Structure 1
């Protein structure tokens, strides 16, 4: 049965300023967008929106959804602001945990600490947690701190050789400090008993997480596996949730492994709810850990240019392997040297075999240069950026590079002006997955307290329309789904979000205070604030 939604201000996102009063939904799709009168002629079941603003359902193009869900079972440290507070939290958790039982925590950021802006060492952790193996993950999921019991469980001691070089930190005496990176940290965490070991447990926690995504206006998400930093994803869990009618977001699932050679499928396998997405490579670390791969040494660490995960030849071969098998290929590249490597790999592979609709995914691109931008804009790429990185990082990220290069940090305005397509993701659980906060951040280039006045390099701010496009029609384009979602138009999936205020009309600083009233997936209400 057709249902009309009238008296709304539907921002279709087909083009800027394009709105309609009403829509009609039937069989999960929009069949009409126009006036109240026209909608009322097509349906007897009517919902009056009372003048509320409406957007297409929003899509997070970069998230580690299972890790976000799993964090509901771990010690949450994201609100910790001092080292002493972090250690006190650990001490209290250890006191209530039986000896020998693993303790895992996540979400802290030492860069915001007001006392010691360092990663906790094993000595610090041993003092408050001597009887339990303990591993704490920084919010970025690339850096970890472990106590002595956890290090011992992983066999990490003097003379230990990590399987990936430079992923275990040692002191001047050759002893591990407890600070770990990427694979070294995830390998130790993998030793802990898994409370979500069964498929049913995974499904239950994912369903809960998806419902929370809906509360923030999200109807789509691109979950990404990253096994080297303990970020798994489970395609079967999403499939079964969908089969059971329990999946409330559309997922485009992406992996950092290629399927076996005997599995003959490619990107796009699935349906409107669950699809197999892109093949993701991780080229470097991050700026917070100073292991993003740079062309020049870090300004605050002159002996360090970061760490690449591949040689250029290895990277070319991996990109080629995914591309030739019909997979969309994406890569995490934060430092400008890592971006250069991925740019070279795309140039090499694409020139060998140009395909009519290649859409490589360039992910993060935190630091660029004029030369890199000129090369990138000639390629068939989509850029997946993370708006909240600017809000989280702006107080310290400038210290990593020379002052004259800071204008190339998160230079999203420049990329749009060069004609590139940008999408927005959260990188959750690294950041909040609330797209309203993301829109606020990328428009204002400020943190949530409004700092700094005037914005951080405000010449790289984007408009509200551009920001919303990143979460809607650009996001749909990135997964080859622009013909079925991303805008409000007849024939497209009826995914839409009702807000309590119009983000196109409020003061940009007030955007972060806007709330989602209702979220619809295929015309079905999946969230209501009331």
Structure 2
């Protein structure tokens, strides 16, 4: 039986300003988009829902999340609200008092750059003082930096003279003792020692189901879930498939893995709910931990240009192998040198078999660029997956890493748009807020959530609201080869749509972050309602 939704402000996202007042949904798809009168006629005998002029958007899609890690982190000690080192240590102390001696404590979500007392990572000695009887490791919100206490380091065999698998990922003090700071793979190895609260299949499924319901609360009906084992960010295809088979999966999942598939599959295998998406590479680290790979040294640490995860030859080989296997390639690049390396690898991969479809190569993050890289990628068929919230959360310290002049190319997404690039938007959850209204606010205003700085940070790089929402809808569907299925509100497409409490296109930019979702529908089925 068809259902008509009438008297709405339905933004189809087919083109800027394209509106209709009514839609008809039947069998999980949009049957009609147009006028109230025709919608009621088509749905005669079915339900008619009055939208009362509420704004409607296509279901939004987050093109970069570590979804299982988010589901898992919801069970950890949440340190996101720590505004000072003192508060962080107190939160740990309280958890340690409640935890039996010897039992692991794992925390996540803190950002030392936000601390009001000392913008430095805690040391193992400070962690030891508040947690002396339990192995403890805490992970910065970026997921690339960890700090462990002495018991956790001992459990991992890390002491003087320890040689990590990746040079530079274990920090040592002048006395040769580990400081407790671990980066990327070194931290992931310690985290992996803690007992897994989601060891069973049912436990994993329950956690992911709950996490997807949280995504629905913010208007998300699709997510690109990405594995990163070197940062202890697993994903499990069978978990999503089981949930879909049981009717418990409330977001469409497009998967990325940082390992090659064990059989001859290619991008797109699956169905409307769960698909194999792409092969993921991590070219460098992150800016917060100074492991992002730069062409010139860091402004606040001239001793380093960051840490590469590959030589150019190794990266060339990985990209070429995936390309020849007909796998979509997605590569994490934060620094401008990493962006140069990836650009070179793509150029080499295409040398013998040029492609014209830009979706073959996804350049992920692209945080710091330079003019040479911008000019080179503008000539390539690539798409860029950005994380809008990076601007908002990093605005107070980004320039300290690379200085004012280089920061002109920090999150320079206006330049990419003006060069004809196709951009999609993701959150890097659990690193950042996955609320698309937060992300839209971030790149429309170029400000932190507190409004800093006045007028926006490098305001010439701002984007329009339509461009921002497109990144979460039509562009997001495009990068996963699903533009004929979703991303816009059109007859024949999947009936994924969202009702908002305010019109994102007709509201002051600084208020976009306060918009909330009234209802979220997946395939015409209500999966979230505010009241």
Give the corresponding residue for 1:313: 313
Shift of 1:466: 0.2
Alignment of 1:236-385 (within 5 A): 236-260=238-262, 263-359=263-359, 360-385=361-386
**Cα shift at 1:402:** 2.8
- SS of equivalent residue, structure 1 residue 219: strand
Cα distance between partner residues in 2 of 1:91 and 1:529:
36
Q: Secondary structure at the match of 2:24?
A: strand
Query: Is the 1:328–1:358 contact (alpha carbons within 8 Å) kept by the matching residues of 2?
Result: no
What SS does structure 1 have at the residue aligned with 2:344? helix
Alignment check: 8 A CA contact 1:122 1:178 kept? yes
SS at match of 1:372: helix
Question: Is the contact made by 2:332 and 2:364 (CA closer than 8 Å) also made in structure 1?
Answer: yes
| 1:353 CA drift (Å) | 1.4
Q: Does 1:417 align with 2:421?
A: no
Q: CA deviation digits over 1:69-119, x for unaligned, max 9? A: 111110000110111111111111111100000000000001111111111
Deviation, structure 1 residue 517:
0.4
Offset of residue 303 of structure 1: 1.2
Separation in 2, partners of 1:366, 1:387:
10
Give the whole-Å Cα distance in 2 for the aligned partners of 1:383 and 1:96: 45
- Aligned partners of 1:294 and 1:388: how far apart in 2? 21
- Secondary structure (helix, strand or coil) at the match of 2:451 reads coil
CA distance in 2 between counterparts of 1:6 and 1:351 reads 52
Tell me, what secondary structure is at the counterpart of 2:106?
strand
Q: 1:187 is matched with which residue?
A: 189
Whether 1:81 and 2:51 are equivalent positions in the alignment is: no
The residue matched to 1:162 in structure 2 has which SS? coil
In structure 1, C-alpha distance between the alignment counterparts of 2:350 and 2:243, rounded to whole Å: 37
Matched, 1:140 2:142: yes
- Corresponding residue SS for 2:33: strand
1:228 maps to which residue? 230
* Separation (CA, whole Å) in 1 of partners of 2:76 and 2:405: 41
CA distance in 2, matches of 1:529, 1:226: 33
1:391 to 2:395 alignment: no
Correspondence for 2:501: 500
More divergent stretch after superposition (112-121 vs 518-527):
112-121
Matched pairs, number: 528
The CA deviation string for residues 322-377 of structure 1, in whole angstroms up to 9 with x for no partner, is: 11111100100000000000000001101221234352110011111111111001
Q: Hey, what does 1:38 align to over in structure 2?
A: 38
Where 1:60 maps in the other structure, the secondary structure is strand
TM-superposed deviation, 1:394: 0.3
Q: How does 1:46-195 map to 2 (within 5 A)?
A: 46-195=48-197
How far apart, in 1, do the equivalents of 2:471 and 2:348 lie? 28
Given that 1:364 and 1:384 are in contact with CA atoms closer than 8 Å, whether structure 2 keeps it comes out as yes
Contact 2:358 2:380 in 1 (8 A): no
After TM superposition, the score normalised by the length of structure 1 is 0.99
Equivalence for 1:527: 528
RMSD between superposed Cα atoms in Å = 0.8
Q: Distance in 2 between matches of 1:380 and 1:205?
A: 38
Q: Which residue in 2 is equivalent to 1:439?
A: 440
Residues 8, 55 of structure 2: 8 Å contact kept: yes
User: Gaps spanning 5+ residues in structure 2: where?
Assistant: none
4+ long deviations beyond 2 Å: 355-358
Segment of structure 1 superposing worse, 115-124 or 98-107: 115-124
- 8 Å contact 1:225–1:256 — kept in the other structure? yes
**For the residues of structure 2 that align with 1:137 and 1:500, how far apart are their CA atoms?**
35
CA drift at 1:31: 1.4
* SS of residue matched to 2:327: coil
Gaps of 5+ in 1: none
Q: Deviations over 1:417-476 (max 9, x none)?
A: 110000100000000111111111110011111111101111100000000000000000
CA offset digits 1:237-280 (Å, max 9, x no partner) = 000000000000000011000012xx111010000000001100
Query: 3-state DSSP class of the match of 1:298?
Result: coil
Secondary structure at the counterpart of residue 401 of structure 1: helix
8 Å contact from structure 2 (residues 32, 490) kept in 1? yes
Partners of 2:124 and 2:421 in 1: how far apart? 45
1:24 alignment counterpart: 24
Alpha carbons 2:386, 2:424 under 8 Å: kept: yes
| Deviation (angstroms), 1:177 | 0.6
CA separation in 1, counterparts of 2:300 and 2:149?
27
Match of 2:469 in 1: 468
* CA distance, structure 2, for counterparts of residue 519 and residue 114 of structure 1: 38
TM-score, normalised via structure 2 length: 0.99
* Contact 1:31 1:491 (C-alpha < 8 Å) held by counterparts: yes
